[in-house]
Structure 1
Amino acid sequence: MTAAPAPLAITLGDPAGIGPEVILGAWTRLRAQRRTPPPAFVVGGPELLRRAAEALQIDCPIVPIADPSEALFASAIGLPVLALLDGPWHPASPSPEGARLALTSLQLAAKCALGGVASAVVTAPVSKGALAAIGWDYPGQTEFLADACARPYRDAVMMLAGPSLRTVPLTVHVALAEVPQLLSAELIVHKARIVAAGLTRDFGISEPRLAIAALNPHAGEGGQFGDEEARIIAPAIAALAAEGIAVTGPVPGDALFTPRARPGYDAALCMYHDQALIPLKALEFDEGVNVTLGLPIIRTSPDHGTAFDIAGKGLADPGAMAAAIVMASEMAAARAAARA
Structure 2
Amino acid sequence: MNFSQSGISGSTQFCYESTLGSCPKITFPIIARVPLYLFLGAAITVTVCGNLLVIISIAHFKQLHTPTHFLLLSLAAADFLLGGFVMPPSMIRSVENCWYFGDLLCKVHTSTDITLCTASLWHMFFISIDRYYAVCHPLRYRNKITVFVTVNMIFISWTLAAVNGFGLIFIELNTQGMGDTYDHLDCVGGCFLTQSAASAITSSLIFFYIPGFVMICIYLKIFLVARKQARSIRDTALQRQTAEEKKNTTSLKREMKAARTLGITMGVFLVCWSPFFTFLNVDPFINYSTPPIFVDSMLWFAYLNSAFNPFIYALFYNWFRKAFRVIIFGKIFQNDSSSMQLLTN
* TM-score between both structures, scaled by the size of structure 2: 0.28
Structure number with greater Rg is 2
**Higher strand proportion, which one?**
1
**Higher helix proportion, which one?**
2
